[in-house]
Amino acid sequence: MKKQNKSMISMMHRLVEFCGKYKVPIRVSYLPGFIKGLVMKSPLMASFFLACDFMAGRMTKKSCLIYGLIILTCVILQAVMQNITDRLQSATGFKVFADKRMEMGDRFRKLTMGYFTEGNIGKVSSVLATDMNFIEENCMMVLEELVGLMISQGLMIAFMFFLSWQLGLTALACLLLVILFGNITTRISISHSMLKQKTAEKMTSAVLEFAEGIGIIKTFNLLGEKSKEVSESFEESSKNSIGFEMAYAPWWASVLISYGIVTALTLFVSGLLSSKGMMTNEYFLGMVLFAFDLFAPIKAYYGNIARLTVTDACLDRIESVFDKAEIVNEGKDTLMSAEDAARKGLPEISYQNVSFAYGNKEALHDISFDVQKGQMIALVGPSGGGKSTIANLLARFWDVKRGSIKIRGTDIRKVPVANLMDNISMVFQRVYLFQDSIYNNIAMGKTNATREEVIEVAKKARCYDFIMQLPDGFDTVIGEGGADLSGGEQQRISIARCMLKDAPIVILDEATASVDADNEHFIQEAISELCRGKTLIVIAHRLNTIRNASRIMVIKNGQIVESGTHEELLAKDGQYKNMVIRQNLSIKK
């Protein structure tokens, strides 16, 4: 079935199926919804029979009391059924999306880093903050309402047949006319709903980019240009919304007009039948009572078109995230201990003919090298050469296209990701700290750490002193991304976090590239503490920081072009030596 041909019932079914284990209480809610649908029109029917008794002279105090009790019972029963359906649907809806958010968070952990670097941040934000909220707050309670409306409409048509078969056929034909226009309106709404959601995604991306880059934007006096981009996204959203209304409004107007026409037509037919003696005066009065409420349920039913079609578009986007291929995590092997690997003569880390590409662009070609336990391997070379890619593949941010990476003889793809990451710590050039206390930011490295352990690693990472100068010490809550701290202070906290984790393999990705000389001194001391007894892979631009590396590899165009110690590479009179000379000249200047 094409998307444009979806019916409202199929969209309702899809929403229920999306709820997974919670779909049972939602389906159970159809029973009170059915009862509610039955009693919704019962007061009107009771009023009809009461009027019949009055016109026939059969009204008594007892009959008035009975009809009054019937109407009161129906009203109370309707309120009770509404409360039950709210508990079964609305409350369940909140549980559904609490679980879906957790499920999506778990899915994010398993996606490749490529998903987050391909411009999907706006989509992620829009799905979590807009799509899920919209369904949760607007649509879960609609299901029972729509079921009730369908039942009410069926009862109204059945009652028309009770009054007169000619009137029943007329009402049924009129209902089909309203449904015809309603289905056209549904298709129009469906065709625009996905466009509206995509526009909202683009707008979210533009706003996020503007907010995150506001410092650079101000520095280069680009407020006008970048504000224009955000304004254009707002204008596009407005244009699409107006376009939707322009396309939707005429057909919704046709639904309302047809509603008025069929109501008038039904009244005309009932009047004609009454004038010819084919309908009693009591029944004609009943028809007058019911006329303007006869097609109200189908009108209200299609009044929920926009909400339901937007919900369908939201589900498309939510499911598109869940459908993204994740890193295969089916490994069952366990990494052997460093001692066992040493006895068997296995290297701590081994890259064997590794090749990798970002899409169609090859980033690494046939990379092979071994790292022994306790060694420090430095990766140097021009930007874009593949240094960070080599390190990221070890942590399985992506998987290799060809070849293999092994730790102590075991292919990392055969090891559960959680087990792999227990053995690796990473210190990035760009540090991210969470909007939480400094204590919790450090304790992330070891969730069951004692306060004494956290304080001890803070001292080793040379961040204890500046932490204690903060208003609440370790309990000071820092801004998102560590905005309240300097770059060097953020870096030292991230190093303390890695120390607490105490993983045997450490990856340092240009950890001192963007800090001042004073902070570099403290960070170098912290790194020395972190790396004691560890196996290191270091990515560096400042060559003076890796002079003592066990081996230095020059990476260029995705290949290892030189490899050796500092002294060996200087003696080769190659690219490494040229890099050293250029840096020394730069320092002297």
Task: Give the gyration radius of the chain's Cα atoms.
Answer: 35
CATH 1.20.1560.10 domain extents, the chain:
1-164+315-326
Strands 535-539 and 376-380: parallel
Residue 108 tokens read as 């994010």
Q: CA-to-CA distance for 545 and 453, rounded, in angstroms?
A: 28
Amino acid at 8: M
Cβ atoms of residues 37 and 81 within 8 Å: no
Report CA dihedral (141, 147, 152, 155) to the nearest 10 degrees: -160
Distances (CA, A) of 532 to 10, 84, 339, 536, 571: 62, 63, 17, 10, 29
- Contact 39/77 with Cβ under 8 angstroms? yes
Q: Tell which residue, 367, 408, 317, 403, has the closest CA to residue 104.
A: 317
- CA distance to 11, 87, 88, 137, per residue, from 91 (Å): 20, 5, 6, 10
Element (H, E) at 185: helix 165-212
| Cβ–Cβ under 8 Å, residues 535 and 375 | yes
What is the location of CATH 3.40.50.300 in the chain? 338-588
Angle, vertex CA 503, rays to CA 502 and CA 506, nearest 5: 110
Q: What is the four-CA torsion angle of 359, 363, 369, 370, rounded to 10 degrees?
A: -60
- Report the pLDDT value the prediction gives residue 355, as an integer from 0 to 100: 94
User: Among 414, 381, 382, which residue's Cα sits nearest to residue 396?
Assistant: 414
Q: What 3-state DSSP class applies to 558?
A: coil
Q: How far is CA 472 from CA 42, 296, 441, 448, 466, in A?
A: 65, 62, 14, 22, 11
- CB-count exposure of residue 158 (10 Å: 0-12, 13-18, 19+): exposed
Q: What is the pLDDT of residues 237-274, one digit of tens each?
A: 777 777 777 777 777 777 778 878 888 888 888 888 88
Domain 1-164+315-326: assigned CATH number:
1.20.1560.10
Residue numbers in the chain where pLDDT is lower than 50: 1-4, 585-589
| Pairing assessment for the beta strands 505-509 and 535-539 based on DSSP bridges | parallel
Q: Which two tokens stand for residue 105?
A: 């968070």
**Could you read off the pLDDT of 346-358 as tens digits, one per residue?**
999 999 999 998 8
Q: Residue 588: its pLDDT value, please?
A: 44
Which one of 3.40.50.300, 3.30.70.270, 3.20.20.140, 3.40.30.10 gives the CATH number of domain 338-588? Answer: 3.40.50.300
Q: Please state, in angstroms and as integers, the Cα–Cα distance from residue 327 to each residue in 143, 397, 445, 502, 548, following that order.
A: 36, 8, 23, 25, 36
Using CA atoms, how far apart are residues 557 and 551, in angstroms rounded to an integer?
A: 19
Three-state secondary structure readout of 461-525: CCCHHHHHCCCCHHHCECCHHHCCCCHHHHHHHHHHHHHHHCCCEEEEECCCCCCCHHHHHHHHH
Long-range CB pairs of 323-328, under 8 A, 24+ apart, other chains included: 324/107, 324/111, 324/115, 325/112, 326/107, 326/110, 326/111, 326/112, 327/110, 327/111, 327/112, 327/396, 327/399, 327/417, 328/399, 328/413
DSSP-assigned beta bridge partners for residue 559:
556
DSSP state of 293: T
Show the tokens assigned to 436: 């939480």
Dihedral through CA 370, CA 371, CA 377, CA 382, nearest 10?
30
Length of the chain counted residue by residue = 589
CA distance 70 to 64: 10
- Tell me the residue type at 128: L
Q: Which residue in 439, 432, 363 sits closest to 401, CA to CA?
A: 363
